[in-house]
Chain A
Amino acid sequence: KAGVTQTPRYLIKTRGQQVTLSCSPISGHRSVSWYQQTPGQGLQFLFEYFSETQRNKGNFPGRFSGRQFSNSRSEMNVSTLELGDSALYLCASRLTQTGLFTEAFFGQGTRLTVV
């Protein structure tokens, strides 16, 4: 069974540009969450999607957006990139979004460097 796949693995962008990151969840998983990991702020929740709808959003500016497709694949977009957006972006998928425990499986992340 394939795990969570994030593409690309590495990305270098220039300030002011925009970027799109992709996450393919484990087959059958309908919940996808995104996290930003930086040395200074640690791991911070960006947003969660379930059945193509954003269910929860973290405290990030509107430059950060996302979407989920009917096959549960998700993309996140960052517009007008800033140096501080340099981070490891992790995606996690879960089988269901209910309160019952279901494990979140993480991808290997996309390392974004803004220069």
Chain B
Amino acid sequence: AQTVTQSQPEMSVQEAETVTLSCTYDTSESDYYLFWYKQPPSRQMILVIRQEAYKQQNATENRFSVNFQKAAKSFSLKISDSQLGDAAMYFCAYRSYQGAQKLVFGQGTRLTINP
């Protein structure tokens, strides 16, 4: 079974600064997807960024980028130029490439942005 671990329950950063959220995972599969989801107080999970395991290039979406280390099974999220609207719970998630399409989530990291 796959597992996802987020070791930072809480993080804080000054507005306009850069912050990195950590995630490690365990799987025996070679093909899979990794995601970072954001859950603001509205409770709706929003996809921030995804990474396909077969791609060596790290995914980037505007101010959000990942550092994907497949051998180390590590998948961190970097948020540049942090904004007040980035404050939320962030969840790292895993999904198999084939077979069961369920998302396996980490425990989450609560990100606070200090003005």
Contacts and interface: CB of A to CB of B under 8 A. Distances in A.
Interface of A: 31, 33, 35, 42-45, 48, 55-56, 58, 88, 90, 92, 94, 97, 99, 101, 103-104, 106-109, 111
Interface of B: 33, 42-47, 50, 52, 91, 97-108
A31 B95 CA distance: 15
Contacts, number: 55
A31 B100 CA distance: 12
Instruction: Sort A-B residue pairs by CB-CB distance and give the 4 closest, nearest first.
Output: A43-B105, A106-B45, A99-B98, A45-B102
A99 B100 CA distance: 9
B45 A42 contact: no
Contacts of A109: 43-44
B106 to A, nearest CB: 7
A48 B101 contact: yes
* Interface of chain A, main secondary structure: strand
A35 B103 contact: yes
A97 B101 contact: yes
B95 to A, nearest CB: 8
Contacts of B91: 43
A101 B33 contact: yes
Contacts of A35: 103, 105
Contacts of A88: 43
Nearest to A3: B44
